[in-house]
């Protein structure tokens, strides 16, 4: 098991991270950064799999918990897309050398696109696993039931049952408003790095149309979308993990 360390951000947050340092003599092999999904962390199946792959193949690898996630500091309900992007900016720029392959799962796919838009020179490629950019738009008033609209107005948050968590998933008005200030699917994006999108056909949380839209709005001429039959949003079966590994290994070298 790779050791957990903590990185202190400029505003005093302590971000839990795990890192594999690969072979410094390996030429043209970018490091890999895993960006987890909403309320997930660096101890998830995909992150651990990639960490073990990196150790075996002597490749640089970094995974971390956004503030309010895992063992990092902060309260989830006090955080937002901008906070998680800032965490990504600080820790990736501080702890990695050279261009990186960003592997973004669900929310991490959104963060990957935002980061690549800001630091194109730092991104060797993007692998989106059921990428979920702009997911906050689903909480627009016209998409909510009357009961949910009243709940949001009265409490400033929405509470949903989720099969992924023991406790209800809470989406705050701050997260919704901030997310809607960080949208990427509304306009063409000048992201030109290679992009690989993986999406399960049985994903009930993020529609396949989301990955198709990503394909349409990026300026990259090297984008591929794989739809895998019979796979849900978790995308964590042994077969899925192999597909993620293949996407990393086949990413064009810088």
The tens digit of pLDDT for each residue in 109-130 reads 999 999 999 999 999 999 999 9
CA distance 227 to 191: 22
For residue 38, what pLDDT band results from cuts at 50, 70 and 90? very high
pLDDT of residue 25: 55
Whether 84 is in a domain gets the answer yes
User: 4 - beta bridge partners?
Assistant: 18
pTM value is 0.96
User: 105 - beta bridge partners?
Assistant: 129
pLDDT of residue 1: 59
CATH number, domain with residue 217? 3.40.50.1820
pLDDT of residue 232: 96
Are 114 and 223 contained in the same domain? yes
Whether 149 is in a domain gets the answer yes
User: 125 - beta bridge partners?
Assistant: 101
Whether 254 is in a domain gets the answer no
Are 21 and 34 contained in the same domain? yes
Q: What is the DSSP string of 110-135?
A: HHHHHHHHH-GGGEEEEEEES--TTG
Are 177 and 215 contained in the same domain? no
Above 60 in pLDDT, residue 142? yes
Work out whether strand 195-200 and strand 223-228 pair parallel, antiparallel, or are unpaired.
parallel
User: Strand, coil or helix: what is 103?
Assistant: strand
Query: Span 208-233, mean pLDDT?
Result: 97
pLDDT of residue 254: 59
Q: What is the DSSP string of 29-91?
A: --EEEEE--TT--TTSHHHHHHHHHHHHHT--EEEEPPTTSTTSSS-GGG--HHHHHHHHHHH
Percent of the chain whose pLDDT exceeds 90: 91
Burial of 23 (0-12, 13-18, 19+ CB in 10 A): exposed
pLDDT of residue 26: 64
Whether 68 is in a domain gets the answer yes
Whether 52 is in a domain gets the answer yes
Whether 152 is in a domain gets the answer yes
CA distance 158 to 52: 37
Are 175 and 210 contained in the same domain? no
For the ranges 140-149, 161-170, 177-186, the maximum mean pLDDT occurs at: 177-186
Are 88 and 174 contained in the same domain? no
CA distance 199 to 232: 8
Whether 86 is in a domain gets the answer yes
Are 216 and 104 contained in the same domain? yes
pLDDT of residue 163: 81
Above 60 in pLDDT, residue 68? yes
Whether 188 is in a domain gets the answer yes
Please state the domain count of the chain: 2
Query: Span 164-181, mean pLDDT?
Result: 93
Are 91 and 209 contained in the same domain? yes
Above 60 in pLDDT, residue 78? yes
Are 153 and 211 contained in the same domain? no
Are 235 and 129 contained in the same domain? yes
Are 109 and 148 contained in the same domain? no
DSSP annotation of 13 reads -
Domain span holding position 159: 136-182
Are 31 and 145 contained in the same domain? no
pLDDT of residue 139: 95
Are 75 and 156 contained in the same domain? no
The pair of structure tokens assigned to 171 is 């989406």
């Amino acid at each position: 098991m790779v050791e957990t360390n903590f990185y202190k951000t400029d505003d005093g947050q302590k971000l839990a991270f795990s890192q594999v340092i690969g072979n410094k003599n390996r030429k043209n092999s970018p490091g890999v950064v895993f960006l987890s999904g909403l309320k997930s962390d660096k101890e998830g199946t995909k992150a651990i799999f990639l960490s073990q792959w990196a150790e075996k193949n002597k490749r640089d690898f970094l995974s971390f918990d956004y503030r309010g996630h895992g063992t990092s500091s902060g309260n989830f309900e006090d955080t937002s897309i901008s906070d998680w992007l800032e965490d990504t900016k600080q820790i990736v720029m501080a702890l990695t050398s050279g261009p990186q392959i960003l592997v973004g799962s669900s929310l991490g796919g959104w963060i990957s696109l935002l980061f690549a838009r800001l630091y194109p020179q730092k991104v060797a490629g993007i692998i989106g696993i059921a990428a979920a950019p702009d997911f906050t738009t689903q909480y627009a008033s016209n998409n909510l039931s009357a009961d949910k609209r009243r709940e949001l107005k009265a409490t400033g948050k929405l509470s949903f049952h989720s099969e992924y968590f023991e406790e209800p998933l809470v989406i705050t008005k701050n997260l919704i408003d901030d997310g809607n200030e960080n949208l990427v699917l509304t306009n063409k994006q000048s992201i030109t790095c290679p992009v690989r999108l993986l999406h399960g056909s049985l994903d009930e949380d993020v529609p396949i149309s989301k990955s198709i839209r990503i394909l349409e709005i990026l300026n990259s001429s090297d984008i591929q979308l794989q739809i895998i039959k019979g796979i849900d949003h978790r995308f964590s079966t042994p077969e899925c993990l192999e597909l993620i590994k293949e996407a990393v290994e086949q990413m064009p070298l810088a």
